[in-house]
Amino acid sequence: MTFAKFRIPWFKQSQRRSLSVQMMWAGLGITLGFVAIALLAPTLQSWGWLQDPMQSLTNPLHQPPSAEHWFGTSRQGYDVFSRTLFGAQAALKVVFLATVLSVLVGVPLGMVSGYIGGRIDRILLFLMDAIYTLPGLLLSVTLAFIVGRGVVNAAIALSIAYVPQYYRVVRNHTVSVKTELFIEAAQATGASTWRVLSRYLFANVIQSVPVLFTLNAADAALTLGSLGFLGLGLPDQTPEWGLDLRQALDALPTGIWWTAFFPGLALTLLVVGLSLLGEGLNELINPLLRRENWTR
């Protein structure tokens, strides 16, 4: 009986960890698949294996999938297969740029705010909380309307909504770590604020950022699709899944399903891949979840 009490929690934890690893690898595989597609699409076009995604074909229009056009053609005359593949390039550009910008802004602000404290901390905390209370999609739509369309503008509109998340996580970790003995020892030896932040604090508060990065990337991909559907993402004729879904909306009642199905499927797979990667990393990295799994 005593042996069973120790054996069952270990077995549950082992199962949970195995599932987390599988989720992480599945998400990584899907994400890397889209990265490969984005990188290879221009090469395939130069070899003549892909149509120009921005060139409208005069014939055939809104034709179903066939050997000549694998995903069919749209009512605007675009090759859906080519636009779906190039849409991965546009999505990954905006998503990567948006998440990197939010990390570059949110992490330093969180470290400085948590370490220095005082009035700076109160002002930044109030500002970030004010931004965080706004719905992310609504904030992105408003910012996109202000800054205009384009890859960089869309990335800026998306990144501002994610900065408070990095700020709050890093600030809270900084507040808890700055009271540790090694930080006090560094301060006692006369280390400057910059040296303490860059050498001692950074490595200890950055651990949760990769998980947040992947989860925000999944949300950014979905939000970009929403902006494109609303006509606020990338310029017209740019191969972008949300924009293609918007153009395909009028064709659905007439039975032209393929112009919406394939871009929507690609967007869904990318979001699922990034979400699986983020959740798998979170299960493996987060010490609170590991401790919770051990007690079950």
Residue-range domains of the chain with CATH: 84-295 (1.10.3720.10)
Helix 2-46 to helix 287-295 angle (10° resolution) is 140
- CA–CA distance, 29 with 117 (Å, rounded to integer): 42
pLDDT of residue 7: 45
Local structure of residue 234 (DSSP, 8 states) = S
DSSP-assigned letters across all residues of 273-285: HHHHHHHHHHHHH
Residue 73 dihedral angles phi and psi, to the nearest 5° = -125, 155
Residue 79 dihedral angles phi and psi, to the nearest 5° = -80, 115
Find out whether 230 and 100 touch, Cβ atoms under 8 Å: no
pLDDT of residue 6: 41
pLDDT above 80 (res 120): yes
pLDDT of residue 2: 44
290 compared with 76, residue with greater pLDDT: 76
- CA–CA distance, 217 with 206 (Å, rounded to integer): 17
Which of 5-9, 100-104, 137-141, 187-191 is least confident?
A: 5-9
Report the percent of the chain where pLDDT is more than 90: 45
Q: What is the pLDDT averaged over residues 48-63?
A: 78
pLDDT above 80 (res 13): no
- CA–CA distance, 103 with 97 (Å, rounded to integer): 10
- CA–CA distance, 217 with 35 (Å, rounded to integer): 13
Q: What is the pLDDT averaged over residues 95-111?
A: 94
pLDDT above 70 (res 288): no
pLDDT above 70 (res 277): yes
pLDDT above 60 (res 187): yes
Q: What distance lies between CA 133 and its chain's CA centroid?
A: 20
pLDDT of residue 58: 62
